Every structure is written in structure tokens, then in C-alpha cells.
């Protein structure tokens, strides 16, 4: 159970690194516009906002990675709970306000990981 929780936390961190890259560097590229369903004009107008969002996704990824490498298991557990909770809340909010698919892509994996971390802890 614990190894599955760690793998899922790592995958969620990687997902947020990917989102960072999409939002900060590929927002106006065909790949970025396809991922977020934007048109060239809209992507150009929202580029700075997207880069800001990407930075925040990078902070989530950094926190999750920190939780995986911290040497104190008790503190690492608390970090996992905090950052998975942040991802879950962000995913629920994004799903309610931007796109329902964010619930499946972001909130659901965070909820499953949170449950596995709690069960393993």
C-alpha cells in the first residue's frame, strides 16, 4: 500500500511539472492550445496569466517531490497530506469553474493518493 501511495504521489508531481511546462512555455503552441482548448488569439491574450498558473503548479510539484525525499517520515507524511490537499482543492475548484475534466485529471488522482497515504501512514 505504501509503495503504491508513493508512486501515485510521484506521478501527480510529474503531472504538475507537465502542466507547468504547458502553461509557462507551451501555452501559445499547438500542443498547449489543444490541451486547454484555446484559440491563438485567446492564448496570446492570456499568456501571462497562464504562466502565473504554471508557476503555481510548479510549487505543487515541488512540494510533492519534497514530501517524497524528506528524511523524516513524520514530516514527509504531513507534507504529502498538505500538498495533496492543495492539489485536491485546486482540482475541485478548477472543475467547478473552468472545466469538469479537471476533476478527473487533477482532483480524482489527488483524492486517491490522499486516501492511500492515509491508509499507509
Task: Retrieve residue 43's grid coordinates.
Answer: 492564448
Whole-model pTM: value is: 0.94
pLDDT band at 22 (very low <50, low <70, confident <90, very high): very high
pLDDT over 90, % of the chain: 98
Q: Residue 36's closest CA among 104, 58, 55, 46?
A: 46
Helices (H) and strands (E) in the chain, counts: 7, 0
Side-chain half-sphere exposure of 17, counting CA atoms within 13 A: 11
Give pLDDT, residue 121: 85
Give the model confidence (pLDDT) of 83-121 as tens digits. 999 999 999 999 999 999 999 999 999 999 999 999 998
Tell me which DSSP letter residue 38 carries: -
Give pLDDT, residue 55: 97
CA–CA gap between residue 78 and residue 84 (Å, rounded): 10
Other beta carbons less than 10 A from residue 65's beta carbon: 18
16-29 average pLDDT score: 98
The torsion defined by the Cα of 45, 12, 84 and 112, in degrees rounded to 10, comes to 120
Amino acid at each position: 500500500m505504501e509503495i503504491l501511495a508513493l508512486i501515485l504521489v510521484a506521478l501527480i508531481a510529474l503531472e504538475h511539472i507537465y502542466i507547468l511546462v504547458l502553461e509557462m512555455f507551451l501555452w501559445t503552441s499547438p500542443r498547449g492550445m489543444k490541451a486547454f482548448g484555446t484559440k491563438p488569439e485567446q492564448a496570446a491574450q492570456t499568456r501571462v496569466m497562464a504562466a502565473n498558473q504554471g508557476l503555481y503548479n510548479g510549487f505543487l510539484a515541488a512540494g510533492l517531490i519534497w514530501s517524497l525525499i524528506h528524511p523524516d517520515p513524520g514530516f514527509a507524511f504531513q507534507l504529502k497530506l498538505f500538498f495533496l490537499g492543495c492539489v485536491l482543492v485546486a482540482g475541485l475548484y478548477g472543475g467547478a469553474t473552468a472545466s469538469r475534466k479537471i476533476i478527473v485529471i487533477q482532483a480524482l488522482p489527488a483524492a486517491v493518493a490522499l486516501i492511500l497515504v492515509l491508509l499507509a501512514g
